[in-house]
Chains A and B, each alone.
Chain A
Amino acid sequence: MALKGNLTDFPILQILNLVNLAQKTGTLVINHQDLVSLITFRNGKLTYAQYGGEDGSLVAVLYRAKKLTKNQAQLIHQKAAEISDKQLGLMLVNARYLSQAEILTCLQEYYLSIVKRFFAKAEGVFEFVADRMPPAVKITVKLDLENVIIEGTRQMRELEVLQEEIPSLEMAVKFKDRQGMDIRNLQLSVQEWQVVKYITPKNTIRQIARANHMNDLEIRRVIYTLLQAGIVEMVRVAGTPKIDLSTAIPNQTKKEQRSIINRLINRLKTA
């Protein structure tokens, strides 16, 4: 089924969050200002990106990263225009001009820079095309999205949005049970680590804020960052009864409450 929408209402960070948590494989196609950009993921990790009509060839990326001089880039364009990125990469490694790690780092930074351009972009429509991958001749990378999401979320400063996302500070948060995620690999700020220290379903968000001498905006910002990165989820505070029917069905024993619910179910079944 469709996974498409508008970046104005469903920002890139939320898409990254979804792709990351669902460990999706495929390409996010973004149409913006008459351009088409592609961001590809494999099992929820960033593997490739292409921005509009921008030259994303390996030569161009290495030149922009100052790994090739202007002359070298021109020479490669002239003499080896038909060579694929993978072949060129191999040649550069074999010639010991660059290491494989250097090439991959340059590409990672370039792909990441494309994703980041959409942090601020509020316009464009997107569609996620499952299982669509870049051409085999392109070099792909494997980049965790958590730190990208954390960085992007930190840039968000609108109190209104934060209040919408976390309307009540009386709720608690707990760590999500996610396979393969190691919190030690996250690039959190000191303030974020301080909040992480207090995360348990026993503490309300307000209590965590008080313990860290943070105001409502500060704590919302940190909690939202952790929520967006899929590290924590909102829960009711531990010890809160699962259900309280004292006002919904007052003055009734548990048995009578069960009887009422059963009658409602039976009635609906025959409706």
Chain B
Amino acid sequence: MQNVKIVVTGPFNAGKTQFIRSISEIDVVNTERKISSKAEMVKSQTTVAMDFGRITVDDELILYLFGTPGQRRFDFMWEILSEGMLGFVVMVDSTRPETFREARRILETFRAYAPTPYIVAANKQDLPDAWDLGDMRLALRLADDVHLLPCVSTDKETVKKVLITLLESILEMIG
């Protein structure tokens, strides 16, 4: 049996849990707790350890999706979760420019762990306040060759598109 994993990371409330929920064949095993910080009261619960989704390919291959906690005090989980990952997805809320700096920090931290392919998903692109992808690319300081895809984490099709694009770029890199 071959198990592979993709890590879904990003700032607090970027839509990581929903992203995994939209594509996982099992109910997402999550570790959500009530939020205690006033500053992060934009939602009532947050992931404190990880989210965990699964996609079975066949009897011999399973893809696991791991979502990292968005709050800073759980940063210590990142390195543990990133070990042995196939690639990672950085989710960014397109309507909250105040989280772009945090997204950059997460991206640079994960990039430094290992030479692993990654993709950036601009979530909530269906909302009127969403930033344009070109502006987001500059604000997130993404080079032209980094994939930045529009995404709506509640929409399974866009979630699929993000994951497939990541896998295709892995394929290209394998050569």
A residues lining the B interface (CB < 8 Å) = 1-6, 8-10, 14, 17-18, 21-22, 164-168, 170-171, 227, 233-236, 240-245, 247-249, 254, 257-258, 260-265, 267-269, 271
User: Given A2-B129, A254-B175, do A236 and B111 touch, yes or no (CB 8 Å)?
Assistant: yes
| Range for the number of chain B residues in contact with chain A | 35 or more
One of A18, A168, A241, A254 near B139 (C-beta < 8 A): A18
A261–B170 CB distance below 8 A:
yes
In the complex, A168 Cα to B134 Cα: how many Å?
Answer: 26
B58 to chain A, nearest CB (A): 7
B98–A5 CB distance below 8 A:
yes
User: Given A233-B141, A243-B115, A245-B174, do A165 and B104 touch, yes or no (CB 8 Å)?
Assistant: yes
Q: Chain A interface: which of B12-20, B28-36, B40-48, B82-90?
A: B82-90
Nearest to B129 among chain A residues (CB) is A2
A164–B102 CB distance below 8 A:
yes
A171–B170 CB distance below 8 A:
no
One of B2, B108, B164, B173 near A265 (C-beta < 8 A): B164
A165–B173 CB distance below 8 A:
no
User: Given A2-B128, A22-B134, A167-B109, do A264 and B97 touch, yes or no (CB 8 Å)?
Assistant: no
Which residues of B sit under 8 angstroms from A269, Cβ to Cβ? 160, 164
A268–B115 CB distance below 8 A:
no
One of B105, B134, B173 near A243 (C-beta < 8 A): B173
In the complex, A242 Cα to B172 Cα: how many Å?
Answer: 10
Which residues of A sit under 8 angstroms from B174, Cβ to Cβ? 243, 245, 254, 257-258, 261
A132 to chain B, nearest CB (A): 16
Which residues of B sit under 8 angstroms from A6, Cβ to Cβ? 97-98
Nearest to A230 among chain B residues (CB) is B138
Decide if B77 is an interface residue (CB 8 Å cutoff). Answer: no
Decide if B21 is an interface residue (CB 8 Å cutoff). Answer: no
Decide if B112 is an interface residue (CB 8 Å cutoff). Answer: yes
A249–B4 CB distance below 8 A:
yes
Question: Which parts of B148-168 form the interface with A (CB within 8 Å)?
Answer: 156, 160, 163-164, 167-168
Which residues of B sit under 8 angstroms from A227, Cβ to Cβ? 141
B55–A241 CB distance below 8 A:
no
B9 to chain A, nearest CB (A): 13
B residues lining the A interface (CB < 8 Å) = 2, 4-5, 23, 25, 55-58, 61, 63, 83-86, 95, 97-102, 104-105, 108-109, 111-112, 114-117, 128-132, 134-135, 138-139, 141, 143, 156, 160, 163-164, 167-168, 170-171, 173-175
- A10-B97, A167-B109, A248-B86 known; 18 new pairs, CB 8 Å cut-off, are A1-B130, A5-B98, A9-B99, A10-B100, A14-B100, A166-B108, A170-B112, A233-B141, A241-B115, A242-B115, A243-B170, A244-B115, A248-B84, A248-B85, A263-B57, A267-B57, A267-B63, A268-B167
Which residues of A sit under 8 angstroms from B128, Cβ to Cβ? 2
B131–A3 CB distance below 8 A:
yes
Dominant SS among interface residues on chain A: mixed
B112–A168 CB distance below 8 A:
yes
User: Given A227-B141, A248-B5, A263-B58, do A268 and B160 touch, yes or no (CB 8 Å)?
Assistant: yes
Instruction: Please name the 8 residue pairs, one residue from A and one from B, whose CB atoms are nearest each other, closest first.
Output: A9-B98, A168-B112, A5-B97, A243-B173, A247-B84, A1-B132, A267-B57, A10-B97
A23 to chain B, nearest CB (A): 10
Which residues of B sit under 8 angstroms from A244, Cβ to Cβ? 114-116
One of B57, B98, B108, B134 near A234 (C-beta < 8 A): B108
In the complex, A171 Cα to B84 Cα: how many Å?
Answer: 20
In the complex, A26 Cα to B173 Cα: how many Å?
Answer: 40
A126 to chain B, nearest CB (A): 10
Nearest to A227 among chain B residues (CB) is B141
Which residues of A sit under 8 angstroms from B115, Cβ to Cβ? 236, 240-244
B168–A260 CB distance below 8 A:
no
In the complex, A2 Cα to B97 Cα: how many Å?
Answer: 11
